[in-house]
Structure 1
Amino acid sequence: MIFLKILLWPFSILYGCIVTGRNKLYDLGLFTSTDVPVAVVCVGNLKAGGTGKTPFTQYLLDTYSETHKTAVLSRGYGRKTRGFVLAQAQSTAVEIGDEPLQLFAHAQDRYHVAVCEDRIEGVKRLLELVPDLKLVILDDGFQHRKIKRDVNVLLTEYNDPFYTDMLLPSGRLRESRISAARADVIVVTKTPPVYKPLPHQRFISYIKPRVPVHYTGIIYGDITHQKGKTDQVKSIILVTGIANTQPLVDYLKEKQLDIIKHFNFSDHYSFSLQDIEKIENARNKDESIQIVTTEKDWVKIVPLLDQLNITSGWNYLPISLGVFSNEKVLLDLIQQKISKRLYSLS
């Protein structure tokens, strides 16, 4: 692995020069960011792969949609469509992507969900379709500098903070560590409930003065079927299509669940009927064995279960976000910037 990183390092240097040059052009004003007539909160990261953006985005949607007409705009990674698509009741992961579909499943008319590669065009369409829209949350938009934002929230994993990583392809960073200086707040994700804060001096080298660092973690709910909570689960087949399965596996083992088989698909995997049948066959008609998947994968799997008329044995594990540091300070910081922007527009 070390040899491979050394071998790829020259390509990382070339990639870094290109990305840093692009950012410099924005910093100098030679590339411009477009202002839009709504408050914009950007949730993103420096690393390629999952850092817990969806749970944090869901947390912001649940919080601020109570007081502001809100929409979330994503690129819609993994979808088979192009251009702007507004999520509807009949939308599928093929049309909008699995993470936006997961967000929409929680919406209950409290906020809107849309996807568009061009975030400026996406906001313009939202403004046309959503009367009195006040707040847009950009999901995974840290690198999309064509649009101005009022708050930049930079996420980084507790066990893999950005300051320990390297640029692609020898590492997993999409841009240099110094890009963290654009952040208004750092949110550490996937933090264990009992934790020791990361060395603050490691952040100071890259972030602006007085930028706060907050700690959040995943809180798992009860294993759930479409009809509600599933009781007395002991043996499971685990089905995942996420970037990092280890925290989930660790949690299930802590709950003393026997994982007899793990179907570990790639992140954003597009399940097929054949996949479902293969997983069903692994159960061998043993009703004591329950199939458990993630909430992100569940929204893609349910339509396939309906096609195969499978009504039992499949479950998902819901998740929510826990804020372990001072939650009020975090929310007040974001709210102040939203309010300042909305006041300037009034």
Structure 2
Amino acid sequence: MKFSRKLLWPLNPFYYWGALTIKKMYDWNIFKSQTYNFPLITVGNLSVGGTGKSPFVAYLIDILQNEKRIATLSRGYKRSTTGFQLANTNSTALEIGDEPLQFKTTYPNITVAVDAERRNGINQLRKLKPKPEVIILDDAFQHRKVTAGLQILLTTHYNLYPDDCMLPSGDLREPISAAARATIIVVTKCPLNLSDHLQQKIITKLNPLAHQSVYFTGIAYAETVHSNTSKLNLEKFTENTFCLVTGIANPTPLVNHLNELEATFVHLNFPDHHVFSDREIKKISSHQFILTTQKDFMRLKDIEILKEKLFYLPIKVKFLNNEAAFKQQINAIVSS
């Protein structure tokens, strides 16, 4: 924990009791939560970000899109629009947010929508013809106005929620007890060689309830980098000195991966969902080769001076254990 955040520790009890009060209001049915009679899947976390929600939503789309009509619903963080918006082939990150644009760009045949009010977004999606058969709620675990049939809670290997504390000195938005709402807990960003023994130690620390399943996933990086018009072999690309541009919550795994490839690069690191200024764009464009994440690429790909030199490195979720059992749980919910 940074020293500056330690100074905020006296404020933690106020945030904790405020969050706990809201939680209890829903638990005691004083505040009402809407349930639905069709498959609704929530992917979220207890912390303020960086757990790998977008790759996990993409994984769910991959395994479901050939069987059902899929829609994703996100808040659309840092977009310029308000209310319910449907993504289309001409949408921009400024209009719908970088992550929803990433979903629509990667999966053009699914329905992608944004709405800060999840209940309204769900109702609008169900009015479409044909209406989606499955809706995936991105980053909505803490959105208690909606109760999904399946709630997937993500926590990172390097910062498990039992080891964290509440805002403002920690990263948790809700008390640890809120994890009880989850049906599935996924430990993300694990080393791909994480042993069964260490997995079991983590499960013991998480202390799952009887109804909860725990899975472990890591990040699998692609062997190619992609631009607007082409793709290159990653090893060939890293023979050049390049600029790595990141505006994500935790770029460390990507930096470590590039270091393992013995790449030579300058790292320009920005806050999550960063809106790049003209001065920053000029600095980035001074480099001949530029690599970024797929999410950041959504915000940078249409800038003219970057188009010929900007590439992103795709990633995929890789299960370390029991992937077949996970898919079976998903299919059971979707088929019910």
TM-score normalised by L of structure 2: 0.93
Q: Report SS of the residue matched to 1:58.
A: helix
Tell me the equivalent position of 1:112. Answer: 111
Give deviations 1:260-299, integer Å, cap 9, x for gaps: x111111101124442222122x2xxxxx52111111111
Query: Deviation string for 1:287-343 (max 9, x for gaps)?
Result: xx52111111111111113xx4x5422211111111111111011112212322xxx
Tell me the TM-score normalized by structure 1.
Answer: 0.90
Residue 344 of structure 1 is matched in structure 2 by none
Residues 106 and 258 (structure 1 numbering): CA distance in 2 closer, same or farther, change over 3 Å? same
* Structure 1: runs of 5 or more not aligned: 284-288, 341-346
Partner of 2:275: 270
Say which SS state the counterpart of residue 188 (structure 1) adopts: strand
Matches within 5 A, 1:188-337: 188-196=187-195, 197=199, 198-204=201-207, 207-221=208-222, 222-231=224-233, 232-233=236-237, 234=239, 235-259=241-265, 261-281=266-286, 283=287, 289-305=288-304, 308=305, 310-337=306-333
Q: Secondary structure at the match of 1:10?
A: helix
- d(CA) in 1 for partners of 2:276, 2:3: 35
Q: CA shift at 1:8, angstroms?
A: 2.1
- State how 1:87-106 maps to structure 2 within 5 Å: 87-106=87-106
Compared CA separation, residues 72 and 130, structure 1 to 2 (3 A): farther
What fraction of aligned residue pairs are identical, expressed as a percent? 39
Name the aligned partner's letter for residue 214 of structure 2.
Answer: V
Q: Give the whole-Å Cα distance in 2 for the aligned partners of 1:72 and 1:132.
A: 12
Aligned to 1:175: 174
CA distance in 1, matches of 2:136, 2:307: 36
Aligned alpha-carbon RMSD (Å): 1.6
Cα displacement string for residues 1-32 of structure 1 (whole angstroms, at most 9, x for unaligned residues): 57655542231111111111111111111111
Q: Secondary structure at the residue paired with 1:170?
A: coil
1:155-195: CA deviations, max 9, x gaps?
Answer: 00011111100000010000011111111010011111111
Count of equivalent residues: 327
Are 2:125 and 2:131, in contact at CA under 8 Å, matched by a contact in 1? Answer: no
Give the ranges of 4+ consecutive aligned residues of structure 1 lying more than 4 Å apart after TM superposition: 1-6
2:130 alignment partner in structure 1: 131
Identify if the C-alpha distance between structure 1 residues 127 and 314 changes in structure 2 by more than 3 Å, giving closer, same or farther. same
What SS class does the counterpart of residue 209 from structure 1 fall into? coil
The 8 Å contact of residues 150 and 338 in structure 1, kept in 2 or not, is answered as: no
Q: Aligned equivalents of 2:81 and 2:103: distance in 1?
A: 18
